[in-house]
Structure 1
Amino acid sequence: MRKTILFFILTSLLYWERLSCKNFVEVEDDPNTLIVDLRECDEIENSERVCGNVNIPLKTLRNVFKTMSSDQFLKHFGLPKPGYDSAIIFFHYSPKKSFQASSIMENMGYKNLHVYDGTNNDQGITKRPMSVVGYEDVVQVEGDPEVLIVDVRDRHEVANSGRIRGSVNIPLAELELAFSRMSETEFKKNYGRSKPGRDFPIVFSCQAGVRSTQAMRIMQRIGYKNLYNYSGGWQDYKARKGWK
């Protein structure tokens, strides 16, 4: 029995492609590839922001892909739910957890699975930097017509808790549609602000930095350049203001 399990693990490690940093950078913005950061929220908060398109902690992975409909996945993560043949890359500091994720997904019928642990960094290859701003930066530009602050939380979250002064609420699930397909007239009608050009400074905020990072990835992919991520989000803003 132990030999059978060991054989399965070894053959799985050979089957699931382990990506180099160069390979990872090449597909990082590919709309046909889903990059899943498997870390817990507290692990992300204590290090860099989300590596990839979506943050789905390992312990919730099976439930997310098994129970979420395509519409629910799109609404929650702002990206289409991948099909069984779609390329999926898993990231975690512990390669063991990435391989566990691949095993879970393979058992559910997914086939095009890859692992990137972030440690096999080819010399001279670096990830594109993400501009992160803090509370002091946001306070300086809130209400400034020359900067657009976009809150990507769901509408009910904003309605129940409030938002940064002068910010516009565009839920993550609507983001790509709003910026890539809406006319300037539609955008202003829906959000009360002129649709910004691709070089206009845009700051993204959410509850605690996870969805705003996903928003950055989406906007980079559709060609926007002057983007900033308020990594502390509403949670940090509210605490700094002394609000409860």
Structure 2
Amino acid sequence: MKNLQLPFLFLVCILVLKCKSDKQNHLFCKSVCYDDVQKAVKNNSLIIDVRSKQEVAESGLIPTSVNIPLGCLRSKLEMSRKDFKDEFNHSKPKKRTLIIVTGRTGMPNSPACEILCFLGFKKVRDYVGGYEDFERRDKECRPPPAPYCSHNIANSCEPTGDAYPVPTTSEIPINPLQYGNSCSNPLSCLQDKLTQSKKDFKDEFDLGNMSKSTTVPKVVDFKQVKSLPDDILLIDVREPSELQQVGVLPKSINIPLGNVENAFKQLTPEEFKQLYGCNKPDLNNSMVFSCKAGIRSAKAMKILENLGYKNTSNYQGGFDDWLEQTQKPSA
């Protein structure tokens, strides 16, 4: 009998220690900093933002992260692997997969960490800084843009040299030969032309292709998408298989989320047009992104903002909202 008691007591001790360890993990998830999150982004590790969809729409998401509001975190992580992948375009984590939880800035994400630990996940980390800290630190780490330098007619701009090249007269859209001897100095002609009336200047130099693109708000709804002007590009970032199975958003082009950065960063205008059938937008053109429910499109929007595009917008409801609105019986 004594021989049986010893192994039994040893087993009880192991279970007690394990429960104690689980309890500590449950209550004290390790915190991570910006550098850890940046590594997780590069490695495509799972980053879960537990803020509400409204908060995310108003500010944004850390790249590659998924938005699962705290109230439905447990139910989403209990989904099948296929359903999780379909909804979040990310593999469902295994029990020993690294998971970083983030939310409001400066607010510990203890409830979310506790839920994950309760579900058996072993490597849960808390990014207390949240999206705002990531955005601030990300901007600090980016190389500063070359400062814009306004060149006066009479004076060159400092500093000069290769770092801030001064435009040559060949870059000025005025042909001095057409003005005779009075325009032997192109810069003096430039001064004359810039003092013309707006109408005369536009008639002479045809700046129609330099007009600003129509701007749209950061978040748009069904009515705004339905009435988008022709000069605003509508981009659906779902996978081609989703379009075949569910349907295509009218007037949109399809650039899957995984191809967005390459399309806008690497492709030449000619390659972009050949591949997608439209002109490649410049940094000032307006674009609206859409997906199934607004999550992947928010990520695409953030990718383009990081590339310098200034007028991007998210169709928050996505194709699910489009189907719902178009299938409503007409009044």
Normalising by structure 2, report the TM-score. Answer: 0.50
In structure 1, distance between residues paired with 2:219 and 2:281: 20
Q: Could you tell me how far apart the structure 2 residues matched to 1:208 and 1:220 are?
A: 20
Look up the match of 2:228.
141
Deviation at 1:209, TM superposition (A): 0.8
Contact conserved, 2:232 with 2:288, CA < 8 A, in 1?
Answer: yes
Write the deviation string for residues 175-201 of structure 1: whole angstroms up to 9, x where unpaired.
Answer: 111111111111111111111112211
Question: Which of residues 253, 259, 265 is equivalent to 1:180?
Answer: 265
Higher-Rg structure is: 2
Deviations along 1:29-83, whole A, 9 cap, x unmatched? 99537561265xxx8557644743332766676999xx89xxx9xxx45xxxxxx
Distance 1:90 1:172 in 2: 22
Distance in 2 between residues matched to 1:92 and 1:235, nearest whole Å:
26
Match of 1:54 in 2: 65
Q: Once the 2 structures are TM-superposed, how far is the Cα of residue 96 of structure 1 from its aligned partner?
A: 3.4
Aligned residue type for 1:54: S
5 Å-filtered alignment, 1:84-99, equals 89-91=100-102, 95-98=110-113
Q: Deviations over 1:134-183 (max 9, x none)?
A: 112212215x1x21110011112223333333211111121111111111
User: What does 1:14-33 align with in structure 2 at a 5 Å threshold?
Assistant: 16-17=30-31, 31-32=41-42
How does the TM-score come out when normalised to structure 1? 0.64
Q: Which residue of structure 2 lines up, in the alignment, with residue 10 of structure 1?
A: 24
Match in the other structure for 1:207: 292
Q: Is 2:254 the partner of 1:169?
A: yes
Residues in 1 aligned to 2:39 and 2:267: alpha-carbon distance in whole angstroms: 22
CA contact (8 A) 1:149 1:205 kept: yes
Counterpart residue type for residue 42 of structure 2: N
Identity, in percent, stands at 26
Cα contact 1:17–1:114 (8 A) shared by 2? yes
Q: How much has 1:105 moved relative to structure 2? A: 5.2
DSSP-derived class of the 2:320 partner: helix
Deviation of 1:133 (Å) = 1.2
Distance 1:176 1:105 in 2: 33
State how far apart, in whole Å, the 2-side matches of 1:13 and 1:242 are.
47
- Structure ranking higher on relative contact order (CA contacts 8 Å, 6+ apart): 1
Superposed CA RMSD in Å reads: 4.5
Give, in whole Å, the separation in 1 of the partners of 2:224 and 2:278. 21
> Could you tell me how far apart the structure 1 residues matched to 2:281 and 2:310 are?
11
What's the CA shift for 1:14?
A: 5.8
Assess, with a 3 A threshold, how the Cα gap between structure 1 residues 228 and 56 changes in structure 2: closer, same or farther: closer
1:232 Cα deviation from its structure 2 partner: 0.5
1:105 & 1:63 partners in 2: Cα distance?
Answer: 18
Corresponding residue for residue 81 of structure 1: none
